[in-house]
Structure 1
Amino acid sequence: MKQYIKTIISCFIVWVCIGLSSCEKYLDKDPETNISEKEAFKNFTNFQGFTEELYNCIVNFSNNYWTNSWNWGEDEITSTAGNFHFIHKIDDGNFWGWQSEFDGWGSGWMNQSDFTTSTAQDNRFNKDLWNAAWYGIRKANIGLANMDLMTDATQEERNLVKGQLLFFRAWFHHRLIEYFGGLPYIDTVLPSIGDIRLPRLKYSECADKAAADFRAAADLLPVNWDETAPGKRTLGKNQLRINKIMALAYLGKNYLWAGSPLMNYESTGSKTYNVEYCKKAAAAFGELLSLTESGATQYSLVTFPNYYKNFYTIGEGWALPGSTEAIFRGPYYSANNSNWGTSKQYTPVVVSEGDLKFVPTANYVDNYGMKNGLPIPDITKADAESGYDPQFPWKDRDPRFYNDIVFDGVKFVQGAIPNADEQPNRYANLFTGGSYRDVGTGSRTGYVLRKFVPTTANKYDNAYSWGNNLHIYVPYLRLADVYLMYAESALMGFNSPNGKDPKFSKTAVEAINVIRARAGAALVNAKFLGSVDAFLGEVRRERAVELSFEGHRFNDLRRWRLLIEKPYTLKKSVEFDRTGTFSTTDASQNKVANLRETVILERKFSEKHYWLPLKNVDVNMYVEFPQNPGW
């Protein structure tokens, strides 16, 4: 860590406006272009220019490389065409692979070799969590240390700047500790020389400090920048600026994570939920949801059939995805970058481009239950209660199944297929031995993901062409996640499916039902409301379905202390034969035979795999900064 602090210090330069784009290096600049700290921080325009560099420290994990890996639980597996992404290292138990020095590329957005203002911030390939977070923490601390220099400003302007700085200091710490456990919480500007011996804190100690920053930020920031005097000067360009709702969302998430079994175990030795942290999380989420449900914010759940706008837009002039539901997103440089790889990384090469494919595992898709709200106990067996029939496994499923997943027989290509020999590929041939099932360049599992791309993103319909303006961006946090985190924290904080924060109107189960109703699925069945454990299973399954493939599963399994337990260590395919009459109008009506699931791989994990290993260069600096257990 000390190494990165010194690098950051050497790279840091104060300037009035971060938007300057000179190709000259700093040392080549005319000394007259430099300005004093007093000038740089004196007013809102100058200080905001300094602050906005922090937004460039938010890594776009879904478009960081040509193809992108961010689902590291049991939810996803790739075709065999490539093995360089971090998902492969995790499958092998090699968690060192997040570090760039181990293979020259690491995990992509987790770690790169460089983060300077002259390169990484203008190149998505060089932006990474590890370096950007330390850089951002130091920059936030420099800003906070210089707030007294902001003399030519209104109180509203001072609050806006300070609130952003506090939020980012907390957010970068939160992002680091969720992967690595308790770290030093740096809330001062560290000197560039001298002996620095900051000990690792417990997770709870870091979380408490982050909570204080998030709470202070929420109290300083507006719900909507458009309604502030400074925001009116940038009207229509404020949707990504840090606001009260973002701060409350991460205040709650920070508390829920601190209260989760893994983090509570690291802090106290108990493998249960921490009730007090869960109550604090519920209070923060309840405050947020009370505001949104009253109509006092710009946020609301996106209704079907526009649900896809949470993740991509098409034919809208590169409009930023997220609609009214995305609460926290980072900036982007070129919307079309999402087309170079992300729009092609899901579709089998037989109807697309690029060899490496990311596909849903069959065991994860099993989480999508039935439209009546009931789960499927065993996909290979009929279930009278839920109505599931293994001869018609795609029939009457949760509506989100049809939105997110391509299954056998779905009409994939909508337009013309010039070559007659390729006509059979119009429909997804995902049965065992089908043309979409090539293990190298297609689906190894019998499913294809469509959540982040339209099916027309193929070489025939060509939705990923420039003229179609397909823009893909997976948000960090959206309103649906807040409802689900509230449900979990209210359940565990108040020990009942009907538990609730005293200041918010909804119970845990009512919050889950908001999300199910939006999707058109039945509400939580009464059979799951008799105990905390029974309902917790449905809360977790709901997170698996609603937040599928959005990068949450790996950290959810970790914080629940389930990552190393079966069946969560397995990745499976679904195998079956087509039989009966093939429907070209409704693939869910197609009959199959010999349905079964086959294990593709089993991940051999132990207790040490709950935390990522820290860099050896850091843990070798001094004894108060030890390595994570087992590494």
Structure 2
Amino acid sequence: MKKYSITSIWVIALVMISSCEDYLDRTPESVISEETAFRNFENFQGFTEELYRCIPDKFHSHNQATGNFGDDEIWSDDSPDQVGFRFDRGDFWAWTHWSSYFDHGSLTTTQDRTAKGLWPLAWYGIRKANLGLENLHRMTEATQEERELIEGQLLFFRGWLHFNMAQYWGSLPYIDRVLPGDEPLREEKLSYQEFAEKAHNDFRRAADLLPINWDNTATGRRTAGNNHYRINKIMALSYLGKNLLWASSPLMNSVSGGGPVYNADLARRSAEAFGELLNLVESGQTQYALEPFSNYKRIFLTRGQNWLLPGGAETIFRTLVHGVNATHWNLTQCWIPAVIARDANHRLSPTSNYVNRNYGMANGLPLPEDISQADPESGYDPNYPFRNRDPRFYHDIAYDGVQMVLGSLSPENANLRYANLYTGGNFRNDRNSTRTGYVHMKFMMVGYNNFDQLFSYGNAGSRNIPYVRLSDIYLMYAEAALMGYNSVTGQSPNFSKNAVEAVNTIRERAGMPEVLPRFQTTVSVFLEELRRERAVELAFEGHRFTDLRRWMLITHPDYAAKTAMEFDRAEALNTEVPSDTRIVNLRERVIINRNYDDKHYWLPFKVSDVSLYPEFDQNPGW
């Protein structure tokens, strides 16, 4: 994305200094007045663009994939310095003293993707957005379109930064003005839904001000071809709907004075926001579309395309990752067993419970609750558990016998070509390989290992996991329409699809059959199937922890255990079709049970923050 002529850090520093006592030795030419800093679009956009560097990256923080904290994956047992490892043991205080997506103990808006934390960046970015909004009147040498582009970006970021904090910490003050430095803090926390209404106003106004595509504006044509990541109407509508859906969800409704059920009014408003977006997409008015399943990988990964940031036509909002080759190297080490990567610790494995509970059969039926038992109706066979599964299973997961190394291997390493994930196999190790019998492949390619080295610098690769993509919008729309209208055929009046049809759109792309009639009998039955669809389609993309909490399921025993799949091969590996290799003694083993209670629905605030003033109190139970 092209940068404008005045860098943001310089401008904001000068604006903040200009009102202070003149105690530094400065040359006259180094001083820029507020009138100059905000006078025209070029200067103001230079100020605004630092906000793009306030988007933390869930999957590159501290050089580790730190984005998933639900029941979906588990760290190797030698990873006590990882926040996810600590969260599994109920230690949510860990975010305050271990580097992670949440905090790094310092504030940076540099290009260093590994040192960005949500908590400090959000407060910094909110103040910056408010500074910009309070100086809009100084933009005197600008067209109306230019003013609207600036205002829309500032409002979006103010709403987005507030919303992202509230997902994890819950009730917060909504700061919509520049707080004076010489007055005591007295900003009261709002209820979650009161807070969400403030964010709603910012997202709604941003959506009304911003274009669908900057390239189609007079201002944007000056940087045509470099506007893809700039905040636009579709991004604002995405969060307009998401903010309302979260506010309608059982947890947020409960803490706002309602019951542990969906707030139907907020859900209907959410469906309408998503309906507005999807109507624009399906009528061909946007640059967004679902990627064909044959190109599914390019949503997350590119290679040999001159460091092209992934996303394709489907990704709506993402972080802007810098130092892109390192994203391959570091994340490869998190996800690939040490026997074919480097011998280091800190490995992540998809949990058996998550994969087997959610990735069902190709005919649309789930696996049985006890995976050691056959299910004649679905066709599941515990002696061939990897046969005839949802196509996304084969894309996302490496199972026993899958080829992992493409090139030549020395005789002593010949047994590393295929993933030996049976109990006792050389890809199984609690310390530095997979603990569960499954390996992450959703954001990887076969050949990402120390033998083939397809992640090497010469392959010009990049990896980026979106905050929001179009399939997520369809599934959130389905949830909002279902719960807002209390019907499996719930439908927003501004969009042509009902809840079931929206889910079927995503299933059809993956080559899955439509939602089976047995899952459409009641709202509650369809909601469970919709949640399973969401778990598969958005697996490992950083959504599960927030989803389980807003659904008030994180304390439920069904989601407490993280398990491994144990089994033995009954015959030699079928290297052509590994799913046809017969196995025996299939069983699940509990690795850890997470003992969560109600306090774990929100992260605790830092003690230093709740000590600032009485109205900013600690979250319950902490």
TM-score grouping bracket, smaller chain normalisation: over 0.9
Q: Which residue of 2 aligns with 1:211?
A: 200
Q: Is the 8 A contact 2:62 2:115 kept in 1?
A: no
Q: Is the 8 A contact 1:223 1:244 kept in 2?
A: yes
Q: Which residue of 1 aligns with 2:59?
A: 62
How far residue 34 of structure 1 moved from its aligned partner, in angstroms, is 2.2
Q: Which residue of 2 aligns with 1:527?
A: 518
Q: How many residues align?
A: 606
Q: Which residue of 2 aligns with 1:13?
A: 13
Q: Is the 8 A contact 2:401 2:575 kept in 1?
A: yes
Q: Which residue of 2 aligns with 1:290?
A: 279
Q: Which residue of 1 aligns with 2:104?
A: 112
Q: Is the 8 A contact 1:279 1:489 kept in 2?
A: yes
Counterpart mapping for 1:98-497 below 5 A:
98-100=95-97, 106-116=98-108, 120-353=109-342, 354-366=344-356, 367-378=358-369, 379-417=371-409, 419-497=410-488
Mapped partners of 1:30, 1:316: distance in 2:
46
Matched, 1:590 2:581: yes
Cα separation, partners in 2 of 1:267 and 1:50, compared to 1, 3 Å: same
Mapped partners of 2:316, 2:273: distance in 1:
15
Q: Is the 8 A contact 2:99 2:105 kept in 1?
A: no
Mapped partners of 2:9, 2:509: distance in 1:
48
How far residue 27 of structure 1 moved from its aligned partner, in angstroms, is 6.7
Mapped partners of 1:29, 1:599: distance in 2:
64
Mapped partners of 1:181, 1:14: distance in 2:
34
Larger mean CA deviation between 615-624 and 504-513 belongs to 615-624
Larger mean CA deviation between 574-583 and 271-280 belongs to 574-583
Q: Which residue of 2 aligns with 1:20?
A: none
Structure 2: which amino acid aligns with 1:292?
V
Q: Is the 8 A contact 1:355 1:441 kept in 2?
A: yes
Cα separation, partners in 2 of 1:495 and 1:580, compared to 1, 3 Å: same
Mapped partners of 1:307, 1:112: distance in 2:
33
Mapped partners of 2:324, 2:216: distance in 1:
28
Contiguous gaps of at least 5 residues in structure 1 = 1-7, 17-25, 101-105
Larger mean CA deviation between 578-587 and 193-202 belongs to 578-587
Larger mean CA deviation between 620-629 and 515-524 belongs to 620-629
The Cα offsets for residues 77-124 of structure 1, whole Å up to 9 and x where unpaired, read as 012232211101101101011113xxxxx24221122115xxx42433
Cα separation, partners in 2 of 1:10 and 1:188, compared to 1, 3 Å: farther
Provide the secondary structure at the position in 2 that maps to 1:233. helix
Structure 2: which amino acid aligns with 1:244?
K
Q: Which residue of 1 aligns with 2:503?
A: 512
Mapped partners of 1:443, 1:32: distance in 2:
59
Cα separation, partners in 2 of 1:308 and 1:27, compared to 1, 3 Å: farther
Larger mean CA deviation between 79-88 and 168-177 belongs to 79-88
Provide the secondary structure at the position in 2 that maps to 1:435. coil
Contiguous gaps of at least 5 residues in structure 2 = 1-7, 17-22
Structure 1: which amino acid aligns with 2:471?
A
Structure 2: which amino acid aligns with 1:508?
A
Q: Which residue of 1 aligns with 2:3?
A: none
Mapped partners of 1:284, 1:400: distance in 2:
28
Q: Which residue of 2 aligns with 1:73?
A: 70
Larger mean CA deviation between 498-507 and 375-384 belongs to 375-384
Structure 2: which amino acid aligns with 1:361?
T
Q: Is the 8 A contact 2:368 2:374 kept in 1?
A: no
How far residue 257 of structure 1 moved from its aligned partner, in angstroms, is 0.2
Structure 2: which amino acid aligns with 1:437?
R
Structure 2: which amino acid aligns with 1:13?
A
Matched, 1:545 2:540: no
Cα separation, partners in 2 of 1:600 and 1:33, compared to 1, 3 Å: same
Q: Which residue of 2 aligns with 1:92?
A: 89
Q: Is the 8 A contact 1:257 1:263 kept in 2?
A: yes
How far residue 30 of structure 1 moved from its aligned partner, in angstroms, is 4.0
Give me the TM-score of the superposition, normalised by structure 1.
0.94
Q: Which residue of 2 aligns with 1:48?
A: 45
How far residue 625 of structure 1 moved from its aligned partner, in angstroms, is 1.3
Q: Is the 8 A contact 1:182 1:201 kept in 2?
A: yes
How far residue 439 of structure 1 moved from its aligned partner, in angstroms, is 1.2
Cα separation, partners in 2 of 1:151 and 1:263, compared to 1, 3 Å: same
Structure 2: which amino acid aligns with 1:76?
E
Q: CA RMSD in A?
A: 1.8
Matched, 1:82 2:79: yes
Mapped partners of 2:157, 2:141: distance in 1:
24
How far residue 486 of structure 1 moved from its aligned partner, in angstroms, is 0.4
Mapped partners of 1:469, 1:128: distance in 2:
27
Provide the secondary structure at the position in 2 that maps to 1:142. helix
Q: Is the 8 A contact 1:349 1:441 kept in 2?
A: yes
Provide the secondary structure at the position in 1 that maps to 2:563. strand
How far residue 344 of structure 1 moved from its aligned partner, in angstroms, is 2.2
How far residue 292 of structure 1 moved from its aligned partner, in angstroms, is 0.5
Structure 2: which amino acid aligns with 1:75?
D
Q: Is the 8 A contact 1:15 1:50 kept in 2?
A: no
Provide the secondary structure at the position in 2 that maps to 1:597. strand
The Cα offsets for residues 178-234 of structure 1, whole Å up to 9 and x where unpaired, read as 111111101011101121211110000010000010000000000001111111111
Q: Is the 8 A contact 2:12 2:47 kept in 1?
A: no
How far residue 491 of structure 1 moved from its aligned partner, in angstroms, is 0.4
Provide the secondary structure at the position in 2 that maps to 1:351. coil
How far residue 64 of structure 1 moved from its aligned partner, in angstroms, is 2.1
Q: Which residue of 2 aligns with 1:574?
A: 565
Larger mean CA deviation between 619-628 and 260-269 belongs to 619-628
Cα separation, partners in 2 of 1:160 and 1:388, compared to 1, 3 Å: same
Q: Is the 8 A contact 1:369 1:398 kept in 2?
A: yes
